[in-house]
Amino acid sequence: MQNSAAGHPSSWIRNINRLMQLAQLGLVTVTVRIYNTLTQTKDAIRGRGLDPRHLNVYICGPTVYDSPHLGHARSYIFFDTLRRVLLLDGYSLNYIQNFSDVDEKIDLRATLEGVVPSVISERYKEEFLRDMDRLNVIRYDVYTNASHIKEFMHRVTRILMEEGKCYRGGDNVYFDTASGGGFGSLLHDKLDNLISGSEADGYTFQKRDKHDFVIWLGDFKPDSFRDSEGRPSWNLECFCIVHRQVGCELDIQGGGLDLVFPHHEVASVLSKSYCNVEFANYYIHNAFVTIKSDKMSKSLQNYVGTRELLQEHGADAIRLYLLSRHFRENIEYDPVELSKWTEAARMLRGKLEEAGALSGTGEVKTGSAGGLTPAAEKFMEMLRDDLHTERAIDFLVEKAGERGEKALSVDDMKYMSAALGLSGFRPVRESQN
């Protein structure tokens, strides 16, 4: 979905021609490289369109049936930091996130409380947004509830059935993996070696093949959305939300490592079947927060709530703690270690207070790559190379403790804080003429 062009059409055409000329001359450069699950290499991030520095980014959102925990916070803080680094280096971004609000867990909680499911989903959606605001996660450009596009998901299911790529099995509709789509592209494994689990609780599955996946649960009426019973599967949700927003032009798909299979594999298959292109050029996945080596999760009841940690430690400490490991390494939750980062956060904020840097708007202009001080350039190089936040944080803490000629300038402190999301600083894209 492209934004409508502003101004006279001839001006818009001149801008397009200029972009094409710059791209052909190699003058529109890209600077940030990151590990891509699709290629299993560190790739330079480049947009699909004429402007290689414009990116459509989709981050998988939470299932809104309960409060967020530290494991959730890690993922959204990581992708927020990626966003900040890209903005500071001059990229323009369209960040999109879903809220999974069509789910059995929501229905069950609603039944227990004697309310309709939307009461539950809206409650925890708002709680999630409040916690992310307090964690200095920049609000996304687009948020979409899965429930808001159920009719579109019905249409996609109908089209796939008409093309012979789906079939009925009992009460459900399944995608026929034998129809193609390149299943297994993210795990880089043969289809027979992939784990095929159940898609939902409380439903009976009648698949032709163990690798087929459900896209509609319950009685599906191709000619009538309103008469169809059941619901679209979580497997279908993210693909349809992205397609409604940006068509087949997604650059980055992001989420936790647990989403690689089946969720992101399924989006890849659906896109190759429906759009004839890979769902995204870059699949970026963060590792987990663990407790006794197990992934922090609601199902295991081994989680620490975000709200409680915010009250005790504050946003800066949580961000430093979660960014103190590379995003592809697990973090074993350690309250002692978190307390150490609470002290580091106080020190950094104290330096900014001493310099009188906290009295402004907190805005740091973007697109200044090439005009940075040596210290800021060294800091950004650590982040441009696979987002090594742990190195950048160590550098910031070390340099912030120095005095005299070696001390960081106030502008450098603000710039680095904006990159890491500290003390309320944030990148602001310079206005376009």
pLDDT in tens, 394-406: 999 999 988 877 8
Half-sphere exposure of 45 (CA within 13 A, CB side): 33
Percentage, residues of the chain above pLDDT 70: 87
Full 3-state SS string of 177-229: HHHCCCCCCCCCCCHHHCCCCCCCCCCCCCCCCCCCEEEEECCCCCCCCCCCC
pLDDT at 7: 43
φ, ψ for residue 167, nearest 5 deg: -150, 160
Share of the chain above pLDDT 90, in %: 71
- The pLDDT of 378-398, averaged and rounded, is 97
Lowest mean pLDDT among 127-136, 226-235, 285-294, 354-363: 226-235
* Cβ proximity of 134 and 316 under 8 Å: no
Domain spans in the chain, listed from the N-terminal domain onward? 335-428
Cα–Cα distance, 278 to 63 (Å, whole number): 25
What pLDDT is attached to residue 182? 67
Mean pLDDT of 102-130: 97
Per residue in 265-300, pLDDT tens? 999 999 999 999 999 999 999 999 999 999 999 888
Length of the chain: 433
Q: How far apart are CA 213 and CA 199, in angstroms?
A: 8
- Report whether 296 contacts 287 (CB < 8 A): no
- Cβ 366 vs Cβ 88: under 8 Å: yes
Q: Give the chain's mean pLDDT.
A: 88
Q: How far is CA 8 from CA 13, 14, 79, in A?
A: 9, 10, 36
